[in-house]
Amino acid sequence: MARKKETAARKTRAQTRKGRKTERVKRAGGAKKVRTSAAGVKTSTRTRKKGEATSAIGAKRPAGRKRAKGRQAGGEKPGWRDIPRGGLIVKAGNAETYETGSWRTKAPAIDFDRCTNCLFCWIWCPDGAIQVKDGKVVGIDLFHCKGCGICAHECPKEAIAMVDERRTTHVA
């Protein structure tokens, strides 16, 4: 319980860290730069490449319309002529490219020897972050996992532990 309280407190602190230009997130794959806009919307270098903003939206310009000069250079947001009208999002499920893993303070680590593949962790994951293949748990999608800990809490075999990121082993 004490551990959980500490986690919650750290999380609150993390959530209030808005407006910083950069922050470093340590992860299994090494350090990664995350840009944070003034609004606190994170644009990780992994999710957003140059010019990709357009494709994420699925921008389509009405025929015969010229794109304003200098728009979209260097990942700038597109202008009004270059986005679908009506506020529509035409790329279904493109939130997949948005990283929520950076919210996490602790990550689930699976002990595959204990796992019986009951899939309770999978059905109760709010972020669909438990990776299942052929009916077996194969890993955790740390790009999206927010570290809520439901999987660890509910695992009937205690095969999942919430651990410090640096010691996490996972299959991505």
Element (H, E) at 15: helix 2-16
End-to-end CA distance of the chain: 30
Site for other proteins contains 119 (CB under 8 A): yes
**For other proteins, the closer CB: 28 or 90:** 90
**Count of CB atoms situated within 10 Å of the CB of 8:** 11
Angstrom CA distances, 48 to 53, 75, 105, stand at 7, 8, 23
Selected binder of other proteins within 28, 90, 171, 172 (CB under 8 A): 90
Q: Hey, which residues between 27 and 46 contact other proteins (CB under 8 A)?
A: 39, 41
Segment near other proteins (CB under 8 A), from 17-25, 28-36, 142-150, 164-172? Answer: 142-150
Angstrom CA distances, 15 to 38, 40, 102, 103, stand at 13, 9, 10, 8
Segment near other proteins (CB under 8 A), from 24-32, 139-147, 163-171? Answer: 139-147
Candidates 55, 79, 75, 49; CA nearest to 65 is 79
Site for other proteins contains 155 (CB under 8 A): no
Site for other proteins contains 9 (CB under 8 A): no
Candidates 86, 80, 54; CA nearest to 67 is 80
Element (H, E) at 4: helix 2-16
Site for other proteins contains 83 (CB under 8 A): yes
**For other proteins, the closer CB: 33 or 80:** 80
Segment near other proteins (CB under 8 A), from 16-24, 28-36, 122-130, 163-171? Answer: 122-130
> Interface residues with other proteins (CB under 8 A)?
4, 8, 11, 39, 41, 53, 56-57, 62, 77-80, 83, 85-100, 103-104, 118-120, 122-129, 132, 135, 141, 143-150, 152-154, 162
